[in-house]
Structure 1
Amino acid sequence: MSGVTDLPFRRIVARLGAARVVTEMVASETLATGDADMALRLAGAGMAPHIVQLAGREAHWMAEAARMAEANGADVIDINMGCPAKRVTTGWSGAALMRDLDLAIDLIRATVGAVAVPVTLKMRLGWDRASINAPELARRAEAEGIRLITVHGRTRDQFYEGRADWPAIRAVVEAVTVPVVANGDVQSFEDADAILAQSGAAGVMIGRGAQGRPWFPAAVQRYLATGTREEGPRGAALGDLVAEHHAAMIDHYGPQRGIRAARKHIAWYFEAAEAHLAVPAGLRTAILTSFDVEAVGRMLREAFDDRAPRRAA
C-alpha cells in the first residue's frame, strides 16, 4: 500500500471508525539518513495508535529507524517482510527476507531491542510455493519478541495474482501463541467471514479493499462485532468525503504534488461508485486532469451528488 496509506488517507479511515491503521512502508536507511519523503511517511503522531511500518535489510538501520519512529510518537513498529515489489526485493527487503530467515531474525532482534514499544511483523506465505516457510519464520519471530503477526495469503512470486490462500494462513496460527491477522482479497463482508473461518486468525487486515472505500475497514469491523452490514456514503455525503480527502492531500503535500497524488484516490472513488453513479466522461476527465485546486473541489461535489444536474465537463 505504498503511495496509498499516507497520512490523509489514514486519518479518514480512522475517523470513519477503523481501530488500527498503518503507515506506508518506511525505508529504514533512507529515513535514518535524513530523507524528507521518508520523514513525511513517518508523520502521524497524535493518532491513536500510531503504527509505523519499517522495511530494510540491515540491522543497524532498522534499529536507528525504529528509535526515530518511537521518538516521533510511534506506539507500534511493524516490520515489513511481505512487500513483493521488485524494487524492494532486489535490495533484499520486504518479501525477499523470506529467502534468508537468519537475516530476517537479525533484523527483528535489532528492532525489538531498540525500542520499548511493541513490534509486529507482516509477511507472506513464503518466497514461492516450493518454500512455504511462514510458520517457521513466525515461530522464530515470536521467540525474539514479536507481539503480533500479519500474513498475506500469497507467496512473493504470486504478487497479487489469483486468489489469496486463506487456509494456508492456519499453519501460522497453529505455530505461534501471539495473535495472527489474516490479509489478502477481503473485498466484502462475506470475505471477512470466510478468511477468519478458513485461517483461524484473530483478525483481518484490509489493504486494496479500502481503495476508493475508506469506510470499508470500519464497516467490516462493526459487521464482525454486530452482524450489521453498512453501505458506504452516497450522493452529497460521498462528494463531501472525496472533496475532504482531496483537500487533505493538498494540505499534506502542497498544491502541485498533492493534486497529482490525489488523482489515483479519486479514480478509485469513481470505480467504487460505478454501480450506483454515472459520472459524465467529460466531467471525470476534467477532474483527473485539472490543476485548479478549487475547481477540482467543486467538480468533485458535483460529480458525486446524484441529486444535482451535472454538466459534461
Structure 2
Amino acid sequence: MRIGAWSLDPPVFLAPMAGVSNRAFRVLARAEGARLCTTEMVSAKALVLGGARSFAIAELEPGEHPVAVQIAGSDPAVMAEAARLVERMGADIVDINMGCPVPKVVRNGDGSALLTDPAKAEAVARAVVEAVRIPVTVKMRAGWDGEHITAPEVAERLEAAGVQAVAVHARTREDRYAGPVNWEYIRRVKERVSIPVIGNGDVDSPAAALRVLEETGADGVMIGRAALGDPWIFRRLVHVWQHGMDPPPPDADERAAMARAHLDRLIALRGEGPAVREMRKHLAWYLRGVPGSSGLRARTATVSTRAEALELIEAWRERARDEAPVWN
C-alpha cells in the first residue's frame, strides 16, 4: 500500500502509544520490521504554545523515516498550525487523533469525541490537509458507543477532505481497551472509502493479522499493545507475509540484548534516572513468558540505576537461556 509518496509493504505499522512509542522504542520496532511508526500523541494546542515537552515528543530520530507525528485537538486553526510545525520538524505524515478515549482528552472535544460530530471531524481534517504538503492520516475508533458507530460516515468525510489513509481501532470509546474487538467495524469503513484502511485492535499474532485482513478487506495492520516487550512481533508479521511461516523466536541472549539496547536508548533520550524509571514497565513486559520470572518481575518496580537494570536483565537471561525459546 502507499501513503503519499511512501510505499509501505508489507503494511505492518506501530501504533501511537502514550509513554511507549517514543524515539527509543520506534527505532527498535523499525529495526524489527515496522514499516511505519507513529509518535506518541502530541497536544496541538501545547505545540502551538511552544510547550517544550510537546516538542520533545514530536522530535524525530535521524534515519527513522518514514514516520508519522500524531497531533490531537479539535480547533481547526490550531490543528493546522500544529501540522505546519511538525512538518517543519521533519514529519513525513501528519496523523490526527480521533480515537483517544481518555476523559481529560474527550472533555475538551478532542480524540474520540470528534466521532460524535462528523462535520467537525471533517473540518479539522480539511484544515490540516490544506495546511501541509505531506500526507495526512487519521487514527480513530469505531464510534462513541455501540449505538453510535460513526466511523464509516466519518471516514467518508475524511476522504472527501483529502485524508490519505485511516486506521480503525475496532472498539468504541465506551469500550476503552476492554472486551473483545469487533472487526466488523473495520469492514464497514473499508466498504465506504477508497483510501487505505488499516486494521487495529487485538492484532497480537500473525494469525490475528491475517484474519483481520481476510475478514475486513483492510489494507494493512497496526500493532499496539502486542508489541510491549515483544518488538519481534513486527519481524513475525513481515516474515509470515513474505514466506507464509513464523521465523524462529529470539533466544534468551537476543531478548536480553534487545532489553539492553532499549535501556541505553532511553538513557540517551531521558538521562539515567528518568529512563530507568520509565524502563521498569518495559522490563516487566520483556519478562513475560520467562520461566520462573515472578520474583524477577517484582524487582522491576524498584530498579533505579542502569547497573541494577542490567543486573536484572542478566539474571533473567541466565534463567531463560536453558529453556527452548517459544513465541509468547
**For the superposition of Structure 1 and Structure 2, which TM-score range results when normalised by the shorter chain?**
over 0.9
The DSSP-based 3-state class of the residue aligned with 2:168 is: strand
For residues 307 and 108 of structure 1, the distance between their equivalents in structure 2, rounded to whole angstroms, comes to 50
Question: Equivalents in 1 of 2:184, 2:211: separation in Å?
Answer: 10
Q: What residue is the counterpart of 1:41 in the other structure?
A: 57
Q: Distance in 2 between matches of 1:160 and 1:137?
A: 21
SS of alignment partner, residue 128 of structure 1: coil
Aligned position for 2:196: 179
C-alpha deviation, 1:280, in angstroms: 6.0
- One-letter code aligned to 2:188: A
Query: Could you tell me how far 1:129 is from its partner in structure 2?
Result: 1.1
Q: Pick from 209, 220, 223: which aligns with 2:240?
A: 223
Q: Are 1:270 and 2:287 matched, yes or no?
A: yes
Q: Secondary structure at the match of 2:301?
A: helix
Alignment partner of 1:181: what SS?
strand
Q: Is the counterpart of residue 134 in structure 1 residue 147 in structure 2? A: no
Amino acid at match of 2:175: Q
- Indicate the residue corresponding to 2:97 in structure 1: 80
Residues 63 and 232 of structure 1: is their aligned pair in 2 closer, same or farther, counting only changes over 3 Å?
A: farther
Q: What amino acid is aligned across from residue 208 of structure 1 in structure 2?
A: R
Q: Does 1:203 align with 2:217?
A: no
Contact 1:45 1:72 in 2 (8 A): no
Does residue 108 of structure 2 align to residue 94 of structure 1? Answer: no
Q: Residue 72 of structure 2 aligns with which residue?
A: 55
Q: Any conservation in 1 of the 2:112–2:140 contact (CA below 8 Å)?
A: yes
Query: Take 1:248 and 1:118, find their aligned partners in 2: how far apart are those partners?
Result: 29
Whether the 8 Å CA contact 1:149–1:178 is kept in 2: the answer is: yes
CA distance in 1, matches of 2:248, 2:101: 32
Give the C-alpha shift of residue 51 in structure 1.
0.9
What secondary structure is seen at the aligned counterpart in 1 of 2:138? Answer: strand
Gaps of 5+ in 2: 1-16, 323-328
Distance 2:210 2:81 in 1: 39
Give the 3-state SS of the residue equivalent to 1:158 in structure 2. coil
Deviations 1:181-226 (A, max 9, x none): 1110011121111111111101111111111101102321221222
1:69 equivalent in alignment to 2:86: yes
Is the CA contact 2:272–2:305 (under 8 Å) kept in the aligned structure 1? no
Which residue of structure 2 lines up, in the alignment, with residue 29 of structure 1? 45
Q: Which amino acid aligns with 1:303?
A: W
Is 1:188 the counterpart of 2:205 in the alignment? yes
Counterpart CA distance in 1 for 2:200 and 2:91 is 23
Amino acid at match of 2:308: A
Is 1:17 aligned to 2:17, yes or no?
no
Q: TM-score scaled by structure 2?
A: 0.89
CA offset digits 1:129-155 (Å, max 9, x no partner): 111111111111001100001111111
Q: Secondary structure at the match of 1:77?
A: strand
Q: Which residue of 1 aligns with 2:316?
A: 303
Of residues 1, 4, 8 in structure 1, which corresponds to 2:24? 8
- Number of equivalenced pairs: 304
Cα distance in 2 between the residues matched to 1:262 and 1:123: 28
**Is the 1:108–1:144 Cα contact (8 Å) retained in structure 2?**
yes
Q: Report how far residue 172 of structure 1 moved.
A: 0.6
Runs (4+) of structure 1 moved beyond 2 Å? Answer: 277-280, 283-288, 304-308
Deviation at 1:231, TM superposition (A): 4.1
CA distance, structure 2, for counterparts of residue 287 and residue 45 of structure 1: 27
Query: 200-209 or 298-307, which moves further after superposition?
Result: 298-307
Range that drifts further, 132-141 or 228-237: 228-237
Equivalent residue runs for 1:141-160 within 5 Å: 141-160=158-177
Q: Is the 8 A contact 1:213 1:232 kept in 2?
A: no
SS of residue in 1 equivalent to 2:39: strand
Are 1:288 and 2:296 an aligned pair? no
How many Å separate the matches in 1 of 2:32 and 2:186? Answer: 28
Normalising by structure 1, what TM-score? 0.93
Deviation at 1:287, TM superposition (A): 4.0
Structure 1 unaligned segments of length 5 or more: list them.
309-313
